[in-house]
Structure 1
Amino acid sequence: MNNPYVPLLVLLVLGAGFAVLSVGTSLVVGPKRYNRAKFEAYECGIQPTPRAQGGGRVPVKYFLTGMLFIIFDVEALFLYPFAVAFDQLSLWALGAMVVFLLNAFFIADAYVWKRGGLEWD
């Protein structure tokens, strides 16, 4: 049996076994102190309310922060192939990547800064 996937399968079984064993052990051995506070939703230390303040609107800052993270993720996604093939690329490719990064950083940061996404009250 000379299958190259056998070590991967063994590692998968070991990882799943460890996860199941860890969760099972914590359920059996762990403390069980149930109270009213444990069953309430956790909202960053703020008392949960049935409706959000201001009639259910979510501040734009949350969306701007999310967009900023997505922009940085896309930048990282484009940087991986560039980093892998860096030694084979020309100076023009380096310049193109620098222009891409500067545009992505400055345009995204300027937009978020203008909209007040970097100011936390």
Structure 2
Amino acid sequence: MASAAVAYLPILLFLLVALGLSGAFVVLPMIVSRFTGAHAPDPQKLAEYECGFPAFEDSRSQFDVRFYLVAILFIVFDLEAAFLFPWAVSLAGTGLAGWGAMMIFLAELALGLAYAWKKGALSWE
């Protein structure tokens, strides 16, 4: 029984070191910022830096659903590219069945794109 527990000692040691390092990477910058004064807010630190101008509305306002639709379409076609490369590399090994499966997959994606296009998800006003 004791020898089985000793076998897990390296895993426990690894987890303790990982927990210690991750805690240090989170806590140490916070402590250093308190001592250096980097935590003190001033108007220059709170200025907008992403787009260069103040936001038009409240930060809790709802976005138009088209933003989400475009994001979902991006993810879908990003995944398509992630599936196409390995398929193209292994096409010789998969043969006609692999080619047919990918054509069905691409047809489903084309139908999804046509549906999104018809619903106006890609048109901006």
Alignment deviations for residues 44-91 of structure 1 (CA, whole Å, 9 cap, x no partner): 843225996xxx7x53312322432453577589x5xx87xx69x742
Q: Which runs of 5+ in 1 are unaligned?
A: none
- Select the residue among 19, 23, 29 that pairs with 2:26: 19
SS at match of 2:114: helix
Query: Between Structure 1 and Structure 2, how many residues are aligned?
Result: 108
Q: CA RMSD in A?
A: 4.2
Q: Does 1:32 align with 2:36?
A: no
Q: Does 1:110 align with 2:114?
A: yes
Q: Does 1:47 align with 2:50?
A: no
Query: Which of the two has higher C-alpha Rg?
Result: 2
SS at match of 1:91: helix
Per the TM alignment, residue 15 of structure 1 is displaced from its structure 2 partner at its CA by: 1.8
Greater RCO (CA < 8 Å, at least 6 residues apart): 1
Per the TM alignment, residue 116 of structure 1 is displaced from its structure 2 partner at its CA by: 2.9
Corresponding position of 2:3 = none
Give TM-score scaled by structure 1 length.
Answer: 0.54
Give TM-score scaled by structure 2 length.
Answer: 0.53
Identity %: 27
Aligned positions of 1:67-82 closer than 5 A: 67-69=72-74, 71-72=76-77, 79=83
> Structure 2 vs 1, CA of residues 60 and 90 (structure 1 numbering), >3 Å: closer, same or farther?
same
